[in-house]
Each structure stands twice: as C-alpha cells, then as structure tokens.
Chains A and B, each alone.
Chain A
Amino acid sequence: GAVVSQHPSRVICKSGTSVKIECRSLDFQATTMFWYRQFPKQSLMLMATSNEGSKATYEQGVEKDKFLINHASLTLSTLTVTSAHPEDSSFYICSARTDDYGYTFGSGTRLTVV
C-alpha cells in the first residue's frame, strides 16, 4: 500500500522552456505532498509542501514563480519548472505521507536543461 507514482523519470528540455512533473498517489488520497530536490551525492532538500485545494508552502530560498506547484486533486500534485535554465538541472522527488506507512516517495525525475 501507499504507492506514489512519479512521471516522467527523465526529461531533457531546452533552456527557456517549461517542464511539468507529475506525482500521483495510486492507492490512497494525499491531502499533502512534498517536493524535494537532490544534488549529486547530497541529501534531499525540501522545496515545498503541496496542499490539496490551497496554495503550496515554499521553503526559504525557493522561488515560487519558478517552481509552480498545483495540487488540484487528492491524488495528483504537479511541479512545473518554468523558464528552465541549466542550473535547474537536478533530480526532483515527490513524497506523500500516510499514518500506516509513513512517508512514501516517488521514483524521481532527472531533469536536464540544455
């Protein structure tokens, strides 16, 4: 139980374009989802907390206009990287929490901006 599906697993985009990453809870409803970014050989850095039906809460230093988060349903949260630049290239991971299973993570998305 508590499976989180994340797509795409890899994406390459041109500088200046936007990329959308989807995170779905498959067998449970997630009122809250979390978005992380991970640099090579470093731990996960929380970017924002996504709340169903309301605005996301961003961590300090994260540009909310660059990283748009939408949580329109209880099973889907999306992260859109707008006007992507090479420095946005990274590994992005989503997560959701349940009482029974704790935190469950998606498989991650490797974004490369060229």
Chain B
Amino acid sequence: KQEVTQIPAALSVPEGENLVLNCSFTDSAIYNLQWFRQDPGKGLTSLLLIQSSQREQTSGRLNASLDKSSGRSTLYIAASQPGDSATYLCAVTRGNEKLTFGTGTRLTIIP
C-alpha cells in the first residue's frame, strides 16, 4: 500500500526567504506526482505535475523535483510571499487510479 509522507507538517518563515517542502512515498512505481495548494475553506489548486519520466518542473517561483528511485520529491519556493501561506499537498498516482495524498505541510509566511 502506497504511503506518502510530508515533512515538515508545519513551517513558518519570514517573507522573502527561500524554502523547501519535502514529500516521500513508499512505492516508486508511480505514474506521476502532483503538488497542490489548499487555502482554508477552498478546493485544491494544482501547482505542478511531474510525469514519472521527468525529473523536475518549474512554474514561476516554484520548482518541483522528482527522484523515483529514492521515493522523494521536493517543492522549492523562491522569494516567499505572504500569499504563499497555505497547506501544500503532494499526491501520487499509478495511472488512471485514485490519488494517494501526502499528509500535508501547513506553510505560514510571516510579513
């Protein structure tokens, strides 16, 4: 059974700092990995999708890497802003099957 863990569970950093969120999964036979953010009381917003054949994806200040062999992914956020405060979730899937979500990291950017 796939298990996805995110470390840390919560993180507070001053505005402007760069930060890294970690995601680890136990079964490396994944089809893709996706990072989401969720604001309180809202749905999930997709941030980055990494196919299993890819090693990283970038969008603006966000960069996500994937190392299937070690079962790890990182989400790098550059020059953090208060608007980045949210809960960040990674999730993996084995093709057209249900997502397995990580435990989440609650990020707070301090102005």
Interaction A to B:
yes
Identify the A interface with B (CB < 8 A).
6, 32, 34, 43-44, 46, 49, 91, 93, 95, 97, 101-108, 110
Q: Which are the 6 A-B pairs with shortest beta-carbon distances?
A: A102-B49, A105-B44, A108-B43, A107-B43, A105-B43, A102-B34
> Considering the chains assembled together, what is the distance between the CA atoms of A105 and B39 in angstroms?
13
Main secondary structure of the interface of B (DSSP, over half): strand
The answer on a CB contact under 8 Å between B34 and A34 is no
The answer on a CB contact under 8 Å between B42 and A103 is no
The answer on a CB contact under 8 Å between B43 and A106 is yes
User: Which residue in chain B gives the minimum CB-CB distance to A108?
Assistant: B43
* Interface membership of B36, Cβ < 8 A: yes
The answer on a CB contact under 8 Å between A101 and B104 is no
B43, B44, B93 pick with most chain A CB within 10 angstroms: B43
Contacting residues, chain B, for A46 (C-beta < 8 A): 98-99
User: Which residue in chain B gives the minimum CB-CB distance to A31?
Assistant: B96
